[in-house]
Chain A
Amino acid sequence: MKFCTVKQYFDDENNNNVTNGIATTVIPLPNKHLKIKANNKEMEQYEQELLRNVMPQELTKLILAANYLNFKEALDFFCRTVANAIQNKSVDYVRKFFGLESDFEPGEEEKLCKEFAWSFEGVDED
């Protein structure tokens, strides 16, 4: 069963991970999945539409929700989407996406960039 944790969630009033907004997005997913499971292309379109206006921060929240709800297909889908979103982007873009800051010592990051210089070629514009 996909929603063994849903009851727990509704019982758990102090749950900050899964806001109501997220729940309305994530929970209807399995029904939709089942309906159009046969047609992959339709699924892709549905998924693209669903996430077109979702901010990166929302995506990470969705991932946490799907993880908490133990919903593997949704987790798989969201991870794939995040991976596609950060593919071939610059390191700064990825940091902004996840709200991270560099904690490298001065020179450490440069060393990494130099060692793997070939992987920094052809970066997409932000």
Chain B
Amino acid sequence: MENSRQRRGSNHNGKMQKGAFYLPPEILCEILSRLPVKYILRCRSVCKEWCRLTLGPQFINLQLSRVNHQLPQLVLKSDYKVDLQNLLLLDTEGCNINKIPFKKMSCTSKRLNCLRLMCSCDGLLCIAADYLIQPVIILNPITRESVILPSPKRRAYVVSHQIGFHLDPSSGKYKVVREYRNMNSLNRDEGSSFEIITLGDNSWRKLSAPPVPIEYSLGAAVYWNGAFHWKIQERNDKSGDNCILGFNISDEKFYTISCHVRFGSSEYDLLVLGGCLSLVEHDVHLMRIWKVTGTKDEGFSLSFHCTYDTCVRWNKYLHYSVICQTNADSFLLKVSREDGENGPNHWFVQFFPGKALYSYLDIPGLPSRFRGVYFKPSFVSPKAPLRRSS
């Protein structure tokens, strides 16, 4: 509780500033943490006290807790070679893009423009190459701090590389899990290799193989309920059953969620919708949503949720992926159209299944080809990851 404060008109150094009204640091934190990160950065230039305040752990935690309740933004990286100098911070609500220069952000001399955005957590981005297992960089594009994860000395080329990155709620530390398929393995059974590292450790640890053989490269990792999940197709092609591979971040154990449904050749997205891990099946014009139900103890299973008619006959030249559910009656989709020699063209639409309506998002500065990840801007430092209760 605040007692009577006679320090009106003085700042932290005791200098009298004419007309200054003293606000306790915790109140300044309350005010500044409500601002979008762009303006918080700007406020660092107001005076030294404000700069110091926004760099402190109290402020960083407060801002992070606020941004967790907002709709996530997206960070995009253009696929065009000419425009690889910037990361694009996309606010889908306001339909605007901020370009964040990418060039001098990392402590590596490696060419950043050949790296891909893998995933993000708490405002930290994980970027790595598709065909090389190093470097793997954890970076905060807002504060421009970055850390290169330890890597083997040998330059290893791989067929595919997928990374999951998240806070382990039980330890308060960030963990990075990756899967790659070695180009040199002739024996198919060797297939995917899994490794894990805790941010701050000196080396990756190999994980024992998951309980199901993995024929094809994994898709992107989706974090839900304390575990990373990937959609995989089981080796036994006769059954054509798919399943979801899960990896618990705390006890570092694999498990599977079987689908009991033949998806055949349809595409599907794995993502979190309405708090549930969901599979969105693309069956020509139909969008079928399956949700994972159950508990860790009793076991998970996939159950049918609903079907929407998208009223468009999607095909290999025109297809979509679900980015998120923006609210109860609309989805944000990324649409991709093959443009012949020019390659694919990408854009965003809002899909309203109830009204069978599409709304094109006109976003100035959106590149015509890009890849992106969910992002919640913060000031968390990859160098000093904070121990905090989630």
**Chain A interfacial positions (CB closer than 8 Å to B):** 5, 12, 14-17, 57, 60-61, 63-64, 67-68, 70, 75-76, 79-80, 82-83, 86-88, 91, 94-95, 98-104, 109, 112-113, 115-121, 123
Find B18's partner among A79, A99, A102, A112 (CB 8 Å cutoff). Answer: A99
A113 to B42 Cα, complex, angstroms: 8
17 contacts between A and B (CB under 8 A): A5-B1, A14-B4, A17-B2, A17-B5, A63-B23, A63-B27, A64-B27, A86-B31, A86-B35, A91-B46, A94-B43, A99-B21, A102-B45, A109-B45, A116-B41, A117-B101, A118-B99
**Number of B interface residues in the complex (CB < 8 A):** 41
Contacting residues, chain B, for A83 (C-beta < 8 A): 31-32, 34-35
The secondary structure that dominates the A interface is: helix
**Chain B interfacial positions (CB closer than 8 Å to A):** 1-2, 4-6, 8, 11, 13, 15, 17-21, 23-24, 27, 30-32, 34-39, 41-49, 51, 98-101, 144
**B24 CB → nearest A CB, Å:** 7
- Knowing A17-B4, A70-B1, the reply to whether A91 touches B27 (Cβ < 8 A) is no
Max chain A Cβ within 10 angstroms of own Cβ: one of B2, B49, B101: B2
Whether B98 lies near A118 (C-beta < 8 A) is yes
Find B45's partner among A15, A86, A113, A121 (CB 8 Å cutoff). Answer: A113
Whether B20 lies near A100 (C-beta < 8 A) is yes
Whether B17 lies near A119 (C-beta < 8 A) is no
- Knowing A63-B27, A102-B47, A103-B48, the reply to whether A87 touches B98 (Cβ < 8 A) is no
User: Residue on B with the closest CB to A59?
Assistant: B21
**B36 CB → nearest A CB, Å:** 7
Contacting residues, chain B, for A119 (C-beta < 8 A): 37-39, 41-42, 98
- Knowing A16-B8, A67-B2, A103-B13, the reply to whether A79 touches B48 (Cβ < 8 A) is no
Find B30's partner among A17, A79, A88 (CB 8 Å cutoff). Answer: A79
Find B31's partner among A14, A68, A79 (CB 8 Å cutoff). Answer: A79
Whether B45 lies near A91 (C-beta < 8 A) is yes
Find A86's partner among B4, B39, B99, B101 (CB 8 Å cutoff). Answer: B39
Find A101's partner among B32, B36, B47, B101 (CB 8 Å cutoff). Answer: B47
User: Residue on B with the closest CB to A15?
Assistant: B4
A15 to B8 Cα, complex, angstroms: 12
Whether A79 lies near B45 (C-beta < 8 A) is no
A67 to B45 Cα, complex, angstroms: 26
Contacting residues, chain B, for A70 (C-beta < 8 A): 1
Whether A61 lies near B21 (C-beta < 8 A) is yes
